[in-house]
A = this chain, B = another copy of it.
Amino acid sequence: MKEKEEQKEYSYKHPHPAVTTDCVIFCFDGKELNVLLVQRGVEPFKGAWAFPGGFLHMDETANQCALRELKEETNLSPEHLEQFHTFTDVDRDPRERVITIAYFALVKKREVIGGDDATVAKWFKMNEIPRLAFDHDFIFRKALTALKEKIHFEPIGFELLDEEFSMPDLQRLYEAILDVKFDRRNFQKKMIQMDILEESPSNEKNVNKTGRSKNKKWRFIPQKYEDMKRQKAFRLEF
């Protein structure tokens, strides 16, 4: 045993597990959900795909760690990371005892992604996701569940869309996330009466002879959402 090469500088009276964060990042390509994966460059699971993440530093919170690793490995900086579960199975990492604090986030369309060093990062459509490293398959299933639950209570879906979007865009997004089909007219009615959207000014220019708009765009107004939330609970159900 060459102890010199593997210097163990940090000692504790009791054993400590290693702690990592992992991020499940979703985007929407207009048709379906996509998920961001990075390809592992080192053992274990070298070559396999996994969620971006890494070890917690002693001077950062888990949230900061997740943001840092995400920036390093994929150049993404989501506005809002949501911690959804901590995974602690004893054997989930073959190297040593590692627990991981998992986050999910939604990012607009397909912002730039690029590895820092040799990291390869890539978007995967939901039905093209390969077998993942470690217990990341399990983490992914939990993330999907957490996302579905969350979107019932918070209008986080808008983080996936451009500032201006059409009602069918929004509907496709919700249908992709919740894996259901809605009636167009009822979906629109519900969205409008929630009073968190605003018509785009450009709609006025696109009125045809019969008085109907074409290619109608909407905007999500966070302030309106805050106002609405104070009165009644947000509840997105169909």
Could you tell me which A residues sit within 8 Å of B by CB distance?
6-19, 55-56, 58-63, 83, 85-86, 88-90, 97, 99, 101, 149, 153, 235, 237
When chains A and B are docked, how far (Å) is the Cα of A101 from the Cα of B17?
Answer: 13
Question: B89 and A86: CB pair below 8 A?
Answer: no
| Number of identical monomers bound together in the oligomeric complex | 2
**29 A-B pairs in the complex with CB atoms less than 8 angstroms apart:** A8-B11, A8-B13, A9-B13, A10-B11, A10-B13, A10-B15, A10-B16, A11-B11, A11-B12, A12-B12, A12-B18, A14-B55, A16-B16, A16-B18, A16-B19, A17-B19, A17-B56, A17-B58, A58-B90, A58-B97, A59-B90, A61-B88, A61-B90, A62-B86, A63-B88, A83-B85, A83-B86, A99-B101, A149-B153
Question: A88 and B59: CB pair below 8 A?
Answer: no
Chain B's nearest CB lies how many Å from the CB of A7? 6
Set B7, B17, B56, B237: member contacting A88, Cβ < 8 A: B56
Chain B's nearest CB lies how many Å from the CB of A128? 28
| A12-B8 contact, Cβ under 8 Å, with A61-B88, A63-B88, A90-B60 | yes
Contacts of A18 in B (CB 8 A): 12, 14, 16
When chains A and B are docked, how far (Å) is the Cα of A59 from the Cα of B62?
Answer: 23
